[in-house]
Structure 1
Amino acid sequence: MLPSDHAGAVFFDVDGTLVPGAGSSAHLAGFLGHRDELAAAEDAYAAGALDNREVSELDAAGWKGVEEAQVSGWLQELPLVPGIPETVDWCRRHRLVPVLATLAWSPVGAHLAGRFGFHAYSGPRPEVVDGRYTGRVARHFDEYGKRDFALAQARQLGLAPGSCAAVGDSRSDLPLFASVGLSVAFNASPGARAAATVSVDDPDLRSVLPALRRLVAPAT
């Protein structure tokens, strides 16, 4: 691995972490008209009764015929925790690369990366033909894909996994939590708390910064 100009990377989850409550898929499903069905499927995923592929296929079917531009407009109203721009800025000032490692749909990751300056984003991709969603999934993505994406990002940046952190809240973060040097459970489920290096409960994302300081020299 070549020496890196960065001190580390921080991988941020989206749903339940940057997007509070039911998350970005539920926000979009409210406009699309299948929020109750999606909520039931996500509860089944959390209980281990459905896998991410099944949930994604159910959700994607509700996007059929919708224009990309319409979804982009709905994302402007996406509820977010306070402190995201300040946290991203802090990371960059301390030579930590902020990355979205998420199971949220790729349009959500693209929106947040463009809005706040995240280096890259992951996620399943809904199929688009001629500017409209088809109701099918073009690329599936699960919790192990999230981990693999983050580790690939670290390699591209010339970073060892031990110099990276993950901030998340739920089952989908567990493989990544186990693969990085620092894991922060932010307003998290009991399982995520048990797996994390440290837990933080606060409405503002800036509350994770004291934990992230462990990745940088004490003098910074």
Structure 2
Amino acid sequence: MSAEPASAPRAAFFDLDKTVLSTASSVTLARPLLAAGLLTRADLLRSAAAQLGYVLVGADRRRSERVREQLSLMVDGWEEPRFRKVVDGALSTFVQPRVYREAVDLIQRHHDDGADVVVVSASAEDVVRPIAAMLGADEVIASAMEVVDGHFTGRVARYVYGPAKADAIRALAAQRGYDLAACAAYSDSVTDLPMLEAVGHPVAVNPDRALRRTAVARGWPVHHFARPVPLRTRSTRPLRVGAGSSVVVGLIAAGATILRRAHRAG
């Protein structure tokens, strides 16, 4: 009697901001970046003004590109090692308390079921990777910016947002052999609809109104996470990077945050 063929590898893809974390990772880092002198109060005011414009006028691709460019210019000239040091120093105080307990438990269940866990975020790899390591994730897909001579140039090399998330997931699935029909994806925002549609088991987590309507209409599960608690640092396997490179900056995630707020207001 021949043995049954082994099933294809599976993965669970998690958006980070408002899905695993109770807020945006870029927001959690604003205070430490300001204290370190990398951000100025004028930078924060410009960012707030841009977000207000999105809420009042609405979001589209053209406006999102303009805001993304403005935010990338804010990091122009920053020293990458200094930025990483600020991020590492901020994790335990500013990021860990924002992790949803429900997300931690769900990630553990996927691991127990033999699936890889992939964090997919428009935030920076330098921000996402240490958070993913705390969670025990296996892969990271994140945005990238150019670094020359140890300094950020302000040029966005890769922006993992909207349809780009789905493209990156498909590329990673082809590389790792994942059966996307057997994979799961989790997000709070309708801007991640392409990512959710790319897998066989999409799940809405604390969804905005547009995503909630879509999830209900299509019969997708809707989860409600409400318990952000400190997450003790845990030793994990080395992360394999699914997209982007180590030369990335976290503040480009603010563009995604702006779009999310605009969709929630609509």
Matched residues in 2 for 1:56 and 1:186: separation?
25
Partner in structure 2 of residue 149 of structure 1: 168
C-alpha contact (below 8 Å) 1:52/1:141 kept by paired residues? no
TM-superposition CA deviations, 1:119-143 (whole Å, max 9, x none)? 2112221333344433332323321
Greater share of residues in helix: 2
Secondary structure of 2:122 counterpart: coil
Question: Aligned letter for 2:214?
Answer: A
1:61 and 1:146 map into 2 onto residues whose CA distance is 23
Compared CA separation, residues 29 and 57, structure 1 to 2 (3 A): farther
Q: Does the CA contact (< 8 Å) of 2:102 and 2:225 recur in 1?
A: no
TM-score (norm. length: structure 1): 0.77
Correspondence list, 1:2-151, <5 A: 4=7, 6=9, 8-21=10-23, 23-30=24-31, 31=33, 32-33=39-40, 34-42=43-51, 44=54, 47-49=58-60, 50-64=62-76, 65-66=78-79, 67=82, 68-76=84-92, 77-78=94-95, 79-151=98-170
- Please tell me whether residue 159 in structure 1 is matched to residue 196 in structure 2: no
Give the secondary-structure state (helix, strand or coil) at the position aligned to 2:101.
Answer: coil
Q: Find the aligned partners of 2:208 and 2:64 in 1 and give their Cα distance.
A: 18
Q: Tell me, in whole angstroms, the C-alpha distance in 2 between the residues paired with 1:101 and 1:5.
A: 21
Is the CA contact 1:3–1:158 (under 8 Å) kept in the aligned structure 2?
A: no
Amino acid aligned to 1:25: S
Deviation string 1:34-68 (CA, Å, 9 cap, x unpaired) is 34433454562893245543333222222232423
Structure 2 counterpart of 1:198, one-letter code? P
Q: Indicate the RMSD between aligned Cα atoms, in angstroms.
A: 2.7
Is 2:209 aligned against 1:200?
A: no
Aligned AA (2:13): F
Q: Deviations over 1:61-111 (max 9, x none)?
A: 222324232233234422322244433222111012111122122222212
Q: Offset of 1:174 from its aligned partner?
A: 0.7
SS where residue 104 of structure 1 aligns? Answer: strand
Alignment partners' CA distance in 2, 1:4 and 1:157: 13
* Structure-2-length-normalised TM-score: 0.65
Matched to 1:93, the amino acid is: D
Which ranges in structure 1 are unaligned for 5 or more consecutive residues?
A: 206-220
Contact 1:17 1:187 in 2 (8 A): yes
Q: Is 1:20–1:81's contact at 8 Å kept on the other side of the alignment?
A: yes
Q: Which runs of 5+ in 2 are unaligned?
A: 34-38, 229-266
| 1:3-39 CA distance string (max 9 Å, x none) | 6553x21110011111223x01222334324344334
Which of structures 1 and 2 has the bigger CA Rg? 2
* CA shift in 2, pair 1:122/1:192, >3 Å: same
Q: Distance in 1 between matches of 2:221 and 2:45?
A: 33
State the alpha-carbon separation in 2 of the partners of residues 168 and 130 from structure 1: 36
Higher relative contact order (CA 8 A, sep 6+): 2
Structure 2 counterparts to residues 182-193 of structure 1, below 5 A: 182-193=201-212
Paired residues in the alignment total 202
Percent of aligned pairs with the same amino acid:
28
Map residues 162-177 of structure 1 onto 2, 5 A cutoff: 162-177=181-196
